[in-house]
């Protein structure tokens, strides 16, 4: 668990981070979002003490981070950056095995772990183990970066715009894999990005920052439903917010059982998002879809009118809960 | 010019060692075969009493020459690289401009002047020339060490620290290997210049390949001058091509950057 309370960082007169408090529970994925220069990367680097904070407390598993030796602390925390930071004079395998070697794991354990990680991240060993970073594509290099961060099995993973330099297709693919990886590994992740869609897709907890301060934090849905100020609203896409919220909702959560009337022509799998369902309605000029399971058997129905009504109800209940 | 000896990825890294071998063989042939070229030098200096320098064996002179350059280079590399490392660390940052200026000063000072100043304190012989060579050869090494270390990307250094490397591990496992080609280029420049400059040592009684040249000038014997100059040139070419070959292997091993 990571806990920041009233943390500030001053560079001379200027406050890069100004009195922020946030808490990332074990196994949760927290995204820090904001425009560049808002202090999100500084916040990240204070957690592994690349930057020492000026005021407040940063606790790791309930213990102040100053009480840890910085070198040992960093070996327990995975770190991924946009430019990968891979060592150009080392092979992929050597790069990945770095932290286990620093921790003096026996040689065959390091090898086994490197191979395990390369498998996990879709890097065939024969093809990649002996390549150098400059021989990799951007996406492959960042896979190596993630593998290196995970190598010594840290509980905590810090990621600083890891997919920011990738082309949209590769980025989306790596985001999808990150979701799967996290579902399996349950790391405590702090993820910095300026891409709100990326944050919405990956995070359990969203923290919006501006000028070194936290503007708003909460679950992605809570933020989408109740942006507290125009800045958060604009980051969340303004008018597009409805669709972004729909993208976070599964079809199966809004489906009703098959009615008496004839089933609709268009079919949509139950685990697709509501956004995809709305898009399909627009495309096929209909206001009802048949929901199917993985075997393409109809299991329910989705109606535009009901979605709209339920959205209203959600809004009321969410406001009450807030 | 010193720093601009940049590292281009080389496609054919393996032709490297042939050239130093050729120059080395030529040098050895010249050292051993000089006395047999009497007729050639006779043609150059028909009136001289003697046309082959005989006050010492050429091989002895070559050995002493190498010793002087070698000792000076060893000290210069040690001092230069350590200074370069020291001022690129956080604690030494303040001294960065100072070290740069001192090294430049060393090179603007003509070695002859250094010799003139050093002889009264250090006496005649080998020591003054070693001091002069050290001062003269320091700049390229310091400058390239700085350029090499500063050229390592901040992201890579940050990542190394963030992975849990100690500052010492970052230096010797990441920074120095990545800076090595640039540092080596500085050493190459320094040593090659000093092979020629060391000949000045003959003027203060350090016997080396400069002896025939000085003796030739004093006695008006062009043959001696040519013999000394030829050997020094061949030595410089051999050593320079050795460095070149080594740089190429280093580069191909590290074609990354």
- Model confidence at B15, pLDDT cuts 50, 70, 90, reads low
Tokens of B118: 């050093």
- 8 Å CB contact between A214 and A20: yes
* pLDDT (mean) for A213-221: 92
CA distances from B236 to A305, B80, B245 (A): 88, 21, 14
Tokens of B101: 């200026």
Reference A205, options A19, A28, A3, A2; nearest CA is: A28
Residue A261 clears pLDDT 80, i.e. is over it? no
Residue B109 clears pLDDT 90, i.e. is over it? no
Q: Order of strands, edge to edge, in the sheet holding A55-60?
A: A14-24, A2-11, A55-60, A63-64
Between chains, do B160 and A75 touch, taking CB under 8 Å as contact?
no
Residue B257 clears pLDDT 70, i.e. is over it? no
Reference B97, options B154, B143, B149, B144; nearest CA is: B143
Q: What angle do CA A128, A89, B18 make, to 5 degrees?
A: 105
pLDDT at A318: 52
* pLDDT (mean) for B204-217: 87
- 8 Å CB contact between A93 and A147: no
Contacts of A77 in chain B (CB under 8 A): 162
Residue B81 clears pLDDT 70, i.e. is over it? yes
Check residues B251 and A200 and name the one with the higher pLDDT.
A200
Residue A319 clears pLDDT 70, i.e. is over it? no
pLDDT at B99: 86
Between chains, do B169 and A102 touch, taking CB under 8 Å as contact?
yes
pLDDT at B254: 67
CA distances from B95 to B82, B92, B134 (A): 13, 6, 20
Residue A167 clears pLDDT 90, i.e. is over it? yes
Tokens of A53: 């904070």
Strands A213-218 and A267-269: unpaired
- Model confidence at A313, pLDDT cuts 50, 70, 90, reads low
* pLDDT (mean) for A232-254: 86
Burial class from Cβ neighbours inside 10 Å (0-12, 13-18, 19+) for residue A275 reads middle
Question: Hey, of A41, A80, A86, A88, which one would you mutate to test binding to chain B, going by the most B CBs within 10 A of its CB?
Answer: A88
* pLDDT (mean) for A152-177: 93
pLDDT at B102: 82
- Model confidence at B59, pLDDT cuts 50, 70, 90, reads confident
Residue B78 clears pLDDT 90, i.e. is over it? yes
**Alpha carbons B93 and B169: distance in angstroms, whole number:** 19
* pLDDT (mean) for B119-138: 86
Q: What is the dihedral of CA B22, B23, B25, B27, to 10 degrees?
A: 170
Reference A318, options A221, A203, A204, A201; nearest CA is: A221
Q: Which residues pair with A20 in a beta bridge?
A: A7
Q: What is the dihedral of CA A255, A258, A261, A266, to 10 degrees?
A: 60
pLDDT at B182: 93
Residue A19 clears pLDDT 50, i.e. is over it? yes
Residue B7 clears pLDDT 50, i.e. is over it? no
**Alpha carbons A84 and B163: distance in angstroms, whole number:** 12
- 8 Å CB contact between A26 and A83: no
User: Which 13-52 residues of chain A touch chain B by CB within 8 A?
Assistant: 48, 50
Number of A–B residue contacts, CB under 8 Å: 66
Helix and strand numbers, DSSP H then E, in chain A:
14, 13
**Alpha carbons A151 and A243: distance in angstroms, whole number:** 38
Percentage with pLDDT > 90 across chain B:
40
- Model confidence at B3, pLDDT cuts 50, 70, 90, reads very low
pLDDT tens per residue, range B175-200:
999 999 999 999 999 999 999 888 88
Question: Hey, of B7, B8, B163, B166, which one would you mutate to test binding to chain A, going by the most A CBs within 10 A of its CB?
Answer: B163
Between chains, do A99 and B163 touch, taking CB under 8 Å as contact?
yes
Lowest model confidence (mean pLDDT) among A102-106, B50-54, B160-164: B50-54
User: Which 138-167 residues of chain B touch chain A by CB within 8 A?
Assistant: 153, 155-156, 158-166
pLDDT at B107: 74
Rounded to two decimals, the pTM is 0.81
Residue in chain B lying closest to A80 (CA):
B159
Q: Is A247 on the interface with B (CB under 8 A)?
A: no
Contacts of B177 in chain A (CB under 8 A): 89
* pLDDT (mean) for A47-76: 93
Reference A249, options A214, A224, A218; nearest CA is: A224
Mean pLDDT (chain A) is 90
């Amino acid at each position: 668990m990571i806990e920041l309370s009233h943390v500030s960082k001053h560079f001379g007169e200027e406050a890069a981070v100004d009195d922020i408090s946030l808490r990332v529970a074990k196994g949760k994925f927290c995204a820090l979002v904001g425009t560049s220069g808002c202090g999100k990367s500084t916040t990240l680097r204070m957690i592994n003490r690349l930057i020492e904070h000026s005021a407040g407390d940063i606790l790791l598993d309930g213990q102040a981070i100053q009480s840890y030796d910085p070198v040992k602390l960093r070996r327990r925390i995975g770190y991924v950056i946009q430019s990968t930071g891979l060592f150009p004079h080392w092979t992929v395998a050597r790069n990945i095995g770095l932290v286990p070697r620093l921790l003096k794991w026996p040689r065959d354990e390091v090898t086994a772990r490197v191979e395990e990680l390369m498998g996990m991240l879709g890097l065939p060993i024969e093809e990649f183990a002996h390549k150098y970073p400059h021989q990799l594509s951007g996406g492959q290099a960042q896979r190596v970066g993630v593998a290196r961060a995970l190598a010594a099995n840290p509980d905590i993973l810090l990621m600083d715009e890891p997919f920011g330099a990738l082309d949209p297709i590769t980025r989306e693919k790596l985001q999808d894999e990150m979701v799967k990886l996290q579902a399996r590994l349950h790391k405590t992740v702090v993820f910095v990005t300026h891409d709100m869609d990326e944050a919405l897709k990956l995070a359990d907890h969203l923290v919006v920052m501006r000028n070194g301060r936290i503007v708003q934090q909460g679950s992605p849905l809570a933020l989408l439903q109740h942006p507290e100020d125009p800045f958060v609203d604009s980051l969340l896409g303004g008018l597009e917010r409805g669709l972004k919220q729909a993208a976070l909702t599964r079809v199966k959560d809004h489906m009703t059982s098959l009615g008496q009337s004839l089933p609709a022509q268009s079919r949509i799998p139950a685990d697709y998002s509501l956004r995809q369902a709305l898009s399909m309605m627009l495309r096929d000029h209909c206001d009802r879809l048949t929901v199917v399971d993985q075997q393409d058997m109809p299991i329910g129905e989705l109606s535009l009118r009901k979605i709209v009504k339920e959205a209203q109800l959600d809004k009321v209940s969410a406001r009450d809960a807030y | 010019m010193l720093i601009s000896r940049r590292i281009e990825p080389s496609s054919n890294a393996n032709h490297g060692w042939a050239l130093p071998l050729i120059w080395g063989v030529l040098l050895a042939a010249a050292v051993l075969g000089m006395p047999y070229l009497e007729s050639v030098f006779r043609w150059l200096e028909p009136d001289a009493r003697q046309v082959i320098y005989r006050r010492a064996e050429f091989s002895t002179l070559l050995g002493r020459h190498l010793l002087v350059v070698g000792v000076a280079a060893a000290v210069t590399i040690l001092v230069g690289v350590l200074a370069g490392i020291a001022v690129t660390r956080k604690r030494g940052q303040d001294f960065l401009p100072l070290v740069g200026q001192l090294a430049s000063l060393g090179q603007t000072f003509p070695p002859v002047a250094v010799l003139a100043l050093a002889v009264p304190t250090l006496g005649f012989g080998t020591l003054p020339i070693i001091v002069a060579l050290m001062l003269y050869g320091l700049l390229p090494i310091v400058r390239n060490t700085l350029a090499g270390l500063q050229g390592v990307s901040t992201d890579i250094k940050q990542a190394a620290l963030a992975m849990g490397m100690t500052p010492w591990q970052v230096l010797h496992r990441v920074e120095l290997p990545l800076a090595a080609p640039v540092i080596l280029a500085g050493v190459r420049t320094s040593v090659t210049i000093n092979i020629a400059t060391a000949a000045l040592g003959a003027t203060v009684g350090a016997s080396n390949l400069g002896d025939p040249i000085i003796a030739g000038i004093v006695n008006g014997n062009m043959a001696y001058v040519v013999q000394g100059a030829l050997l020094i040139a061949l030595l410089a070419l051999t050593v320079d091509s050795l460095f070149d070959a080594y740089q190429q292997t280093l580069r191909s091993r590290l074609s990354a950057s």
